Amino acid sequence: MATDPHRKTYWDLVETLMWIATRDESRVAALRDKSDEIKTALVFSAMRGEPIVIDYPHWASGTNGGADLEEPAPQRAGRAPYPLDELPAKVQSGCIRMTAIRGDGGTNEQIPVPLAELNDLTFRLPPSHSVAPVGLWSRSTLVWRSPQFLRADVVAAWPARNRKTAAASAAILRHLRSIMSAEAPLTKLEAQQRCLAEVPGAYPGAFNKAWAELEPSRKRRRGKHGPRVH
């Protein structure tokens, strides 16, 4: 299999967070050639737009010169825990290989970070307009800067979402809306049979996802006074 020459072997912290938030490599690639301020704003926007709870305290301890993260978006009921706080644990366990530059300024060489040196360190992504560098901090001391994470490890830890299901479900939903209305509703079985026969690439799992998103007014009740088919 040919290797894509445009794919980076390592992602920086912002790129890694963008992947975790969106699982969309095009969104990660769009960060290239952007200023640090714009990249930070984009990744914060992506994280706030996800149906998740962002748990910042694991990443924002300390108060060094504005290096802490911005305030999180309000928590919304029913959202799943955000996986961002799993990154340090996955790095410490060796699941995700990371390199960085020592923060003492002695060298600019990007080297593997010894796992033993990660204890009690905190990842920090400065908010906009901050001069504090991205890195791993121990209280007010920058220990490692410019962390990079092996892309293949990150993708393995947070796999890409099933685009096949998303595409098929979107096509089925469009078809359902074209063949069903409040005046001419269908039962779930009737709708499924038509979609599987009429929508290219349709399959039951994608139909179920589309059916769940379809407006209730388009669904035929089981009986005159019975509940709608869900």
Across the range 180-204, mean pLDDT stands at 89
Element (H, E) at 171: helix 163-179
**pLDDT of res. 202:** 85
Confidence of residue 146 (pLDDT cuts 50, 70, 90): very high
Which phi and psi angles does 102 have, rounded to 5°? -60, 140
Domain residue ranges of the chain, discontinuous segments joined by +: 10-157, 163-218
Please name which of 127, 103, 101, 104 lies closest in space to residue 112, comparing C-alpha atoms: 101
Are 206 and 168 contacting, i.e. CB atoms less than 8 angstroms apart? yes
Across the range 2-29, mean pLDDT stands at 81
**pLDDT, tens digit, 9 for 90 and up, residues 59-81:** 333 333 333 333 333 333 333 33
Across the range 153-168, mean pLDDT stands at 83
Confidence of residue 91 (pLDDT cuts 50, 70, 90): very high
Across the range 134-146, mean pLDDT stands at 91
**pLDDT, tens digit, 9 for 90 and up, residues 22-37:** 888 888 999 988 888 8
- Written as six digits, the tokens of 43 are 């990744």
Please indicate whether residue 122 or residue 148 has the higher confidence score (pLDDT): 148
Are 82 and 54 contacting, i.e. CB atoms less than 8 angstroms apart? yes
